[in-house]
């Protein structure tokens, strides 16, 4: 691979170096700044010549190594990398942290350990003593982390951003240490830190006066800590999602609060009734984003209370009971709403929604997922009034007839994201929607009325498409995909799962999309190793691959994959015809971290064991429970010590259903 | 003042009804002394008891040996006249008789009084003679002694005058009331002097035997710093007061506000398991109430409500002398000879202080096996909280409640919660968090438990060790150790505080309150 690149790059070489030598390093760095889009571009650049290599090494500001073992060399090669993301390393020990501390010292600015395990409080302490310049630290998911480690974190005196999501073993004491130690904190996330309560949060609010953003989701806190939070002078974002301890008394506290607050999320606060919700708005005058999802019913009073929030830009009311009068009140009072989310709100009617959009013509983002009562009336209003809509999500609006989708294409040309999953949209609709030339995300899953013809229109016009979802849209065969692959070169994510008629030809055409990163082709029995090989050879950036139930893919598909897809991180091989050889060959993909290997008929225990041992970077493996007994326990212990987690499944093989039949079943379940 | 005087009268009348009860408070009076004129009756009993148990010598108010004890030190102080004790006792009795029978004039008593006065004057004469005779030698002695002698003489004269007035007053039945009020100050004064005897710390205070006799007269000059000159003079009068003390000792105090009477128990007394003894069988009790219950078994006379009632309840809360206690341990801050002497408030304080400070800590906490206590109550208090006081601050303060800790941290800059020691110790899950040892063990077991050789694991471990060496102490809260020490200190203060609510508190408080007011009034009377 390196040789290939070298072969391509040296073209300007004869005269290039001389010219480039004239450029100062700063100018080259500025050029390099534009190469951020595709990591391979940088790689290609650095492979041109020694000086380019050195330039690129110096230019690199952030590193995301896959293996902690290579940290010393990586850090030596990129002396300017002050941001380090170790979340992909399966095993980050105290020794790794010591290496980082020794190599970077005070120059280290950002460190992400959000999925790293195996380091301890002493490692953090060593880091803290040498990396005093650290500004950003992510310790999310360190579920084993205890207060002692939190006390070590408190030694990072200059820390400005700290994420501790899901650090379940940290208690008030640890957070108290952090509050006292890290006085410059601007962002703190304590989401899911179930051991932290009022006292810890209260102390943070008292000690860390600089806080801008505070995430307290799912903490067992009550109203008691809110007064001190409200005294935070600079607080802009407060997330109180799922805080069951907060009740109607809290809004009273919020009332005299924080003038600087811009984002407030009080979703899933079960104990806040509409009384409380309506009074929330009394004080926070410059609130821009408000989320009250999965809360009290949106009644007239609540909606009317939004009137006081003159700066409000977006409201999220997902999962709430919404009344028509409530929607009308929202329409009447908020002046400048640009975002509205009514996902899964029961009670959204044509009447209410139509009235609302007449008042909010500035709407850019609208989510009406699962508003099953609305019809073409609403769509007609939305499309005619909100011409500036960039994002429309209307999954499962089952009463919207196919004609309505034509309107979307006719009127909303600014659309960038459109989710039509599980709708009646047909080829006519798609043809119309194809006019939305800015479309980058299009979801057409479970749209049984669409065929290749409609999709071809999309492929011809929507050249900016990045994500395409055709999950279980069984009308799609090869032609549509070919058209899309031809017309949309920037596609990164494609899901054609359970489109039974997809063949290798489609994959071969898709392989033209060089940027393809995620490919899901579950349940496509016609696809063989040949198609997969084409993808593997051409789509070098492929990082996620799901070929579950592609029963015609076998070892022949794995070998090119193993050879070319060096960026592959995640693979699902369940129900394929891959055997020991294919699996073992995957070991040459050094990035491979996650494997799901269920119901591989040709897999023997020893083959599996060899493959598992050979894949050094594995962090997660899903296996059939039967292997647990067959393979020796020390093997698993060893792999776990390397940082691999095992998920044991005991699923029985199920016969695949016809897509139409599947949808009927789905509807049966829902009704 | 009139009001005060009236009150004074009433109180005095009550006091006379039960003369002894007031005086004996600090000594935890046995019930037999509640009879109206217990002095004579109780003599034998007391003496008997004294014989039975020398350790309860504080009851031996008028016991001969104690007098000799007293006399010994007095000999080394030449100016102090040694008077025939019997005479004094006679006078004392007369005094009491006189006090008891104010209503009808008794010429015999009057005669007694006069003869007493005569003797008193003679003694004074002798004293002055002695001083004159010893002028020369005395020159070499500190001036304080001279001053002291003068004070003694003054005090003696005062008491003679008072005695004279009261004797004269008894002749006038019509002015009985005013007489009694007039006679109050002298009586109180006498009592006060008696109290002061204890105060002075010299061997004089044998009335209650609270003072170490051995400390002798040589200490007297030291005390003169603390004690009012008037009190000092009492040393001269001690023959009178040693006996009078008994009943009057607490009644009056001439100390200026803020001063107090100092008592000092002996080590043996402090450490005695029982403080209340049955006068009949000698059985000891920790509580007076238990003794009273016990007394019921000795006959019907102890079953009367009066006998069973809490003693001195009716003595009132207003008329008691301020008592403060001194620790017998020389050099202790609680010892009265210490420069910055800080007196102890109650006897229980004395006991707890002495045990805590000057005794071995023999009670060990069964939970933590590390904390030791000399007072069993401290142990019990500790055991209640042992292991519960887990909220530590970096400053070493411990808290039983987390919110208190956080309040503390909120308040003080730079203080931070300390990680509980046991967390540092480990018991941690899979990847052992803090404790390097467990952590490494965990790693080792992974590495070697696996089927493949994993030198990387070993290497990691080695590097772990290195990493830790850099900063070995910082992982453990350096303060948790201090905290435990501090806990001890805390406990000390807390228990000391609790003492005021201890088993004896009702007695002690009463005894404290009573003299306080009375003393204050009497002093004002005297000033007038």
Location of structure tokens 């007369």: B94
Q: Cα(A245)–Cα(A222) distance, rounded to whole angstroms?
A: 4
What residue ranges of chain A have pLDDT lower than 70?
A: 1-18, 251-257, 280-284, 334, 653-659, 669-671
Closest-CA residue to B67 (of B55, B52, B50, B79): B50
Whether A177 sits inside 8 A of B429 (CB atoms) is no
Q: Name the β-bridge partners of A162.
A: A137, A188
**pTM score, whole prediction:** 0.61
Q: How far is CA B27 from CA A114, A451, A488, A544, B56, in A?
A: 73, 109, 105, 91, 10
Can you read off the two tokens belonging to residue B517?
Answer: 């007011």
Q: What is the DSSP letter of B392?
A: E
Report the chain A residue with the minimal C-alpha distance to residue B474.
A125
Q: Cα(A294)–Cα(A289) distance, rounded to whole angstroms?
A: 16
Closest-CA residue to A625 (of A648, A605, A594, A654): A648
What are the extents of the domains in chain A?
23-59, 135-296
Mutate to test the interface with A, among B406, B411, B445, B449 (most CBs of A within 10 A): B406
Task: Please write down the HEC assignment for all residues of A159-171.
Answer: CCEEECCCCCCCC
Q: Cα(B261)–Cα(B511) distance, rounded to whole angstroms?
A: 12
- pLDDT at A670 (0 to 100): 64
How high is the ipTM of this complex?
0.81
Q: Which residues from B are below 8 Å from A126, CB to CB?
A: 467-468, 470-471
Contacts with A, B 414-433, CB within 8 Å: 414-420, 423-424, 428-433
- pLDDT at B423 (0 to 100): 55
Q: Average per-residue pLDDT in chain A?
A: 88
Q: Cα(B463)–Cα(A62) distance, rounded to whole angstroms?
A: 26
Three-state secondary-structure class, residue A346: strand
Q: Which residues from B are below 8 Å from A93, CB to CB?
A: 443, 460, 463-464
Q: Cα(A475)–Cα(A472) distance, rounded to whole angstroms?
A: 9
pLDDT digits (tens, 9 = 90+) for A609-625: 999 999 888 999 999 99
Whether A147 sits inside 8 A of B419 (CB atoms) is yes
CATH 3.80.10.10 fits A135-296, yes or no: yes
CB B40 within 8 A of CB B93: yes
Q: Name the β-bridge partners of B417.
A: B393
Whether A95 sits inside 8 A of B434 (CB atoms) is no
- pLDDT at B508 (0 to 100): 36
Distance of CA A493 to the CA centre of its chain: 13
Q: How far is CA A322 from CA A38, A298, A489, B322, in A?
A: 44, 5, 42, 77
Kindly report the backbone phi and psi dihedral angles of residue B366, in degrees, each rounded to the nearest multiple of 5, phi listed first.
Answer: -80, -15
The CB density around residue B429, as the number of other CB atoms within 10 Å, is 12
Closest-CA residue to A352 (of A319, A384, A374, A376): A374
The CB density around residue A273, as the number of other CB atoms within 10 Å, is 15
Q: Cα(A314)–Cα(A264) distance, rounded to whole angstroms?
A: 11
B12 — alpha (psi -120 to 50), left (phi > 0) or beta? Answer: alpha
CB B260 within 8 A of CB B272: no
Extended beta strands in A539-603, E state: 544-546, 570-572, 594-597
Extended beta strands in B28-111, E state: none
Whether B433 sits inside 8 A of A177 (CB atoms) is no
Strand B372-373 vs strand B363-364: parallel, antiparallel, or unpaired?
A: antiparallel
Strand A645-649 vs strand B372-373: parallel, antiparallel, or unpaired?
A: unpaired
Show pLDDT as tens, one digit a residue, over chain B (528 residues).
444 444 445 544 444 444 444 444 444 444 444 444 444 444 444 444 444 444 444 443 443 443 444 444 434 444 444 444 444 444 444 444 444 444 456 777 778 877 878 888 888 888 788 777 765 544 545 566 677 777 777 877 877 777 777 777 666 554 444 444 444 444 444 444 444 444 443 333 334 343 333 433 333 344 434 434 444 443 343 333 333 333 333 333 344 445 677 778 787 777 777 778 888 888 888 888 888 888 888 888 888 877 777 766 544 445 566 778 888 888 888 888 888 888 888 888 888 888 888 888 888 888 777 778 888 888 888 887 777 667 888 888 888 788 888 999 999 888 988 887 655 544 333 333 333 333 333 333 333 333 333 333 333 333 333 333 333 333 333 333 333 333 333 333 333 333 333 333 333 333 333 333 333 333 334 433
Q: What is the DSSP letter of B412?
A: S
Q: Which residues from A are below 8 Å from B467, CB to CB?
A: 94-95, 97-98, 122-123, 126
Strand A136-138 vs strand A110-112: parallel, antiparallel, or unpaired?
A: parallel
Q: What is the DSSP letter of A373?
A: T
Whether A640 sits inside 8 A of B446 (CB atoms) is yes
Q: How far is CA A374 from CA A413, A418, B480, in A?
A: 22, 17, 65
Distance of CA B329 to the CA centre of its chain: 13
CA dihedral B498, B499, B505, B511 (to 10 degrees): -130
Percentage of chain B beyond pLDDT 90 is 0
- pLDDT at A253 (0 to 100): 59
Q: Cα(A290)–Cα(A333) distance, rounded to whole angstroms?
A: 14
pLDDT digits (tens, 9 = 90+) for B60-105: 344 344 344 444 443 444 444 444 444 444 444 444 444 444 445 6
B434 touches chain A (CB under 8 A): yes
CB A458 within 8 A of CB A479: no
Whether B433 sits inside 8 A of A69 (CB atoms) is no
Residue A121: which residues within 8 A CB-CB, separation 6 or more?
Answer: A145, A146, A148, A149, A151, A152, B433, B434, B475
The CB density around residue A297, as the number of other CB atoms within 10 Å, is 17
């Amino acid at each position: 691979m390196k040789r290939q690149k070298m072969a391509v790059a040296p073209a300007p070489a004869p005269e290039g170096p001389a010219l480039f030598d004239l450029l100062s390093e700063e100018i080259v760095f500025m050029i390099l700044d534009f190469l951020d889009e595709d990591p391979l571009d940088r790689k290609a650049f650095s492979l041109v010549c020694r000086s380019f290599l050195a330039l690129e090494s110096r230019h690199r500001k952030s590193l995301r190594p896959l293996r902690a073992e290579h940290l010393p060399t990586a850090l030596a090669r990129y002396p300017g990398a002050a941001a380090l993301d170790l979340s992909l390393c399966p095993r980050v020990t105290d020794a790794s942290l010591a290496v980082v501390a020794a190599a970077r010292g005070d120059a280290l600015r950002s460190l992400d350990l959000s999925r790293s395990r195996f380091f301890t409080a002493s490692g953090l302490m060593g880091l803290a003593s040498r990396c005093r310049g650290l500004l950003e630290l992510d310790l999310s998911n360190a579920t084993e982390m205890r207060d002692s480690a939190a006390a070590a974190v408190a030694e990072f005196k200059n820390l400005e951003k700290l994420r501790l999501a899901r650090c379940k073993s940290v208690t008030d004491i640890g957070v108290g240490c952090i509050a006292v130690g890290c006085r410059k904190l601007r962002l703190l996330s304590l989401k899911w830190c179930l051991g932290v309560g009022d006292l810890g949060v209260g102390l943070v609010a008292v000690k860390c006066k600089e806080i801008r953003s505070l995430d307290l989701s799912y903490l067992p806190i009550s109203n008691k800590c809110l007064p001190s939070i409200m005294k935070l002078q600079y607080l802009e974002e407060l997330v109180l999602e799922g805080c069951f301890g907060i009740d109607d008394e809290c809004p009273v506290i919020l009332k005299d609060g924080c003038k600087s607050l811009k984002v407030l999320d009080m979703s899933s606060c079960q104990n806040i009734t509409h009384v409380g919700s309506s009074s929330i708005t009394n004080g926070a005058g410059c609130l821009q984003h408000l989320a009250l999802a999965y809360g009290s019913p949106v009644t007239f009073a609540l909606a009317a209370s939004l009137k006081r929030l003159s700066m409000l830009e977006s409201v999220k009311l997902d999962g709430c009971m919404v009344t028509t009068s409530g929607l009308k009140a929202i329409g009447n009072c908020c002046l400048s709403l640009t975002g509205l989310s009514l996902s899964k709100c029961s009670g959204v009617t044509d009447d209410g929604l139509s009235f609302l959009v007449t008042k909010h013509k500035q709407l850019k983002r609208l989510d009406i997922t699962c508003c099953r009562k609305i019809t073409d009336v609403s769509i007609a209003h939305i499309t005619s009034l909100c011409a500036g809509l960039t994002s429309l999500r209307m999954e499962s609006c089952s009463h919207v007839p196919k004609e309505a989708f034509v309107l979307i294409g006719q009127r909303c040309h600014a659309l960038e994201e459109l989710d039509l999953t599980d709708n009646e949209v047909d080829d006519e609709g798609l043809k119309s929607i194809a006019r939305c030339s800015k479309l980058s995300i299009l979801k057409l899953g479970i749209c049984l009325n669409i065929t290749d013809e409609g999709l071809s229109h999309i492929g011809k016009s929507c050249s900016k498409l990045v994500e395409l979802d055709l999950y279980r849209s069984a009308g799609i065969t090869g032609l549509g995909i070919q058209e899309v692959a031809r017309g949309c070169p920037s596609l990164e994510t494609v899901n054609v799962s359970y489109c039974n008629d997809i063949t290798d030809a489609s994959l071969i055409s898709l392989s033209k999309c060089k940027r393809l990163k995620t490919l899901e082709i579950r349940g496509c029995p016609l696809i063989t190793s040949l198609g997969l090989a084409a993808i593997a050879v051409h789509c070098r950036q492929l990082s996620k691959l799901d070929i579950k139930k592609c029963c015609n893919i076998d070892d022949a598909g794995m070998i090119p994959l193993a050879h070319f897809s060096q960026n592959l991180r995640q693979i699902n091989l369940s129900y394929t015809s891959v055997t020991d050889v294919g699996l073992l060959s995957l070991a040459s993909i050094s990035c491979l971290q996650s494997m799901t290997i269920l119901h591989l008929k040709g897999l023997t225990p020893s083959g599996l064991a060899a493959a598992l041992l050979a894949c050094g970077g594995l962090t997660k493996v899903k296996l059939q429970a039967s292997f647990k007994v067959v393979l020796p326990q020390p093997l698993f212990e060893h792999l776990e010590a390397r940082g691999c987690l095992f998920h044991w499944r005991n699923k029985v093989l199920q016969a695949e259903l016809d897509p139409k039949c599947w949808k009927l079943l789905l509807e049966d379940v829902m009704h | 003042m009139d009001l005060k005087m009236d009150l004074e009268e009433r109180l005095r009348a009550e006091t006379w009804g039960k003369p002894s009860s007031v005086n004996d408070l600090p000594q935890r009076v046995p019930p037999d002394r509640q009879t109206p004129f217990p002095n004579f009756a109780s003599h034998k009993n007391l003496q008997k008891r004294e014989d039975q148990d020398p350790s309860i010598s504080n009851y031996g108010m008028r016991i001969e040996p104690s007098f000799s004890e007293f006399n010994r030190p007095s000999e080394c102080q030449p100016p102090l006249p040694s008077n025939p004790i019997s005479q004094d006792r006679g006078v004392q009795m007369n005094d009491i008789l006189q006090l008891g029978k104010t209503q009808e004039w008794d010429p015999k008593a009057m005669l007694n009084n006069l003869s007493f006065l005569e003797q008193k004057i003679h003694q004074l004469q002798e004293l002055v003679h002695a001083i004159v005779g010893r002028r020369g030698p005395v020159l070499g002695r500190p001036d304080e002694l001279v001053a002291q002698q003068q004070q003694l003489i003054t005090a003696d004269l005062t008491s003679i005058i008072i005695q004279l007035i009261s004797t004269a007053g008894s002749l006038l039945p019509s002015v009985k009331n005013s007489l009694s009020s007039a006679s109050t100050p002298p009586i109180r004064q006498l009592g006060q002097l008696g109290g002061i005897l204890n105060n002075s710390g010299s061997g004089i205070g044998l009335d209650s035997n609270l003072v170490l006799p051995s400390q002798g007269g040589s200490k007297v000059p030291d005390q003169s710093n603390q004690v009012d000159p008037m009190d000092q003079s009492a040393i001269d009068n001690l023959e009178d007061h040693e006996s009078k003390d008994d009943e009057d000792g607490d009644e009056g105090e001439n100390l200026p506000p803020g001063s107090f009477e100092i008592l000092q128990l002996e080590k043996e007394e402090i450490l005695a398991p029982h403080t209340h003894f049955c006068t009949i069988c000698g059985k000891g009790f920790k509580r007076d109430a238990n003794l009273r219950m016990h007394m019921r078994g000795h006959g019907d006379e102890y079953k009367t409500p009066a006998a069973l009632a809490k003693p001195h309840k009716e003595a009132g809360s207003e008329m008691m002398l301020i008592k403060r206690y001194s620790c017998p341990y020389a050099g202790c801050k609680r010892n009265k000879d210490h420069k910055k002497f800080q007196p102890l408030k109650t006897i229980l304080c004395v006991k707890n202080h002495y045990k805590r400070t000057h005794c071995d800590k023999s009670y060990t906490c069964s939970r933590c096996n590390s904390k030791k206590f000399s007072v069993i109550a401290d142990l019990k208090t500790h055991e209640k909280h042992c292991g519960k006081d887990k909220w530590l601050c970096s400053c070493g303060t411990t808290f039983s409640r987390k919110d208190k800790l956080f309040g503390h941290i909120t308040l003080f800059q730079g203080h931070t919660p300390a990680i509980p020691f046991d967390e540092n110790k480990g018991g941690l899950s899979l990847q052992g968090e803090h404790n390097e040892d467990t952590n490494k063990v965990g790693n080792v077991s992974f590495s070697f438990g696996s089927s493949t050789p994993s030198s990387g694991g070993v290497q990691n471990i080695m590097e772990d060790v290195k990493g830790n060496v850099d900063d070995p102490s910082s992982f453990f809260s350096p303060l948790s150790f201090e905290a435990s020490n501090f806990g001890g200190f805390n406990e000390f203060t807390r228990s000391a505080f609790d003492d005021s609510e201890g088993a004896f508190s009702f007695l002690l408080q009463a005894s404290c309150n009573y003299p306080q007011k009375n003393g204050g009034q009497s002093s004002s009377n005297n000033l007038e």
